[in-house]
Amino acid sequence: MSAPSSGGASRDGYGAALLELANDPRVVVLEADLGKSTKSCHFRAEHPERTVSLGIAEQNMVSVAAGLASCGKVPFASTFAIFSERAFEQVRNGVARPGLVAHLCGSHGGIHTGTDGSSAQSIEDLAIYRTIPGMTVMHPCDDLSAKALTMQLLNHKSPSYTRTARNKTPRMYDEDTIKELKIGKASMLREGVDIAIIACGVMVHKAVTAANNLSKEGIHAYVVDMHTIKPLDTELINKLVSTCKGIVTVEDHSIIGGLGSSISEYLSTTKPTKITMIGVEDRFGESGGSEELLELVGLTVERIEEACRVL
């Protein structure tokens, strides 16, 4: 893979997608006082008649989204990832249980959020939403993939939760490779043979950097962007474990219930495989710079490299 290019934050991709989706009159956007932060504000500015701003009322936002979905609309609702958790009951009982299709976006997810501190750093959102039957759960790694995946939700048949990030990350895709992106199908960013590094979100570019460094030592690692946590791309996982000696998972999320857990659960019942899970241990975050905090909890290129060496 060529060197990553500079890009925007994945939340920017979400906002850009909403603007393009506006061509479909079924699309309605809902906000909970944070449109500027989630980037749904761009849709509101051009289409106020199809935007519902509910203030600091996340539970109401999801319930309104359910009502709109029941009337044939395609609602996109967004807030901070941590605040979306207030509406878990409404997502479960109001949207998913009756089989309605509404799409929730949680911005500012993970330790990467930084200076907002532990009360605003959702490290459990992916785990929470993937427990809901029929729910699609995604965590794109850059602005282009966030846009592409959000665009595909227009005709998606299931409710979804997408986590986006506050800060800019290098682009892992370009205008050509992004065309291959599909919900539920992981993306192979780097071919390998020895180890498979499977990452999501803001940790994908660090996984690529680690793999490039390891290749200089004669360790050749696959790098996979597992942007869809549920449904999991088990076909690709089966291929990886048949050719390499183990897997390292990397995520800015708790190791309890996230990407690593999802892959471990699958392989434990199919083909037990050596797995090292790199993520947030059983702890809360702190307030600080994004990179400072990632280093504090061990989400670094160096730790990925070491995990691959000893696997």
Three-state SS string over the chain comes to CCCCECCCCHHHHHHHHHHHHCCCCCEEEEECCCHHHHCCHHHHHHCHHHEEECCCCHHHHHHHHHHHHHCCCEEEEEEEHHHHHHHHHHHHHHHHCCCCCCEEEEECECHHHCCCCHHHCECCHHHHHHCCCCCEEECCCCHHHHHHHHHHHHHCCCCEEEECCCCCCCECCCCCHHHHCECCECEEEECCCCEEEEECHHHHHHHHHHHHHHHCCCCCEEEEECCEEECCCHHHHHHHHHHCCCEEEEEEEECCCCHHHHHHHHHHCCCCCCEEEEEECCCCCCCCCHHHHHHHCCCCHHHHHHHHHHC
Task: Supply the pLDDT for residue 2.
Answer: 46
The percent of residues above 90 in pLDDT, for the chain, comes to 97
Which tens digits make up the pLDDT trace of 67-78? Answer: 999 999 999 999
User: Can you give the pTM of this predicted structure?
Assistant: 0.96
Which tens digits make up the pLDDT trace of 71-106? Answer: 999 999 999 999 999 999 999 999 999 999 999 999
- Across the range 237-247, mean pLDDT stands at 96
pLDDT of 190 higher than 70: yes
pLDDT of 258 higher than 90: yes
Which tens digits make up the pLDDT trace of 277-309? Answer: 999 999 999 999 999 999 999 999 999 999 999
Instruction: Write the CB contacts of 225 (distance below 8 Å, at least 6 apart in sequence).
Output: 141, 145, 172, 186, 187, 189, 199, 200, 204
Q: Which of 245, 240, 234, 224 is nearest to 269 (CA)?
A: 234
What rounded mean pLDDT belongs to the chain? 96
- Across the range 130-151, mean pLDDT stands at 98
The single residue of 20, 46, 49, 58 carrying the catalytic annotation is 58
Task: Supply the pLDDT for residue 185.
Answer: 98
58 is catalytic: yes
Task: Supply the pLDDT for residue 3.
Answer: 46
pLDDT of 115 higher than 70: yes
Which tens digits make up the pLDDT trace of 9-40? Answer: 999 999 999 999 999 999 999 999 999 999 99
**Domains along the sequence of the chain with CATH:** 10-163 (3.40.50.970), 182-310 (3.40.50.920)
Task: Supply the pLDDT for residue 5.
Answer: 56
**pLDDT-derived band at 6, boundaries 50, 70, 90:** low
- Across the range 111-132, mean pLDDT stands at 95
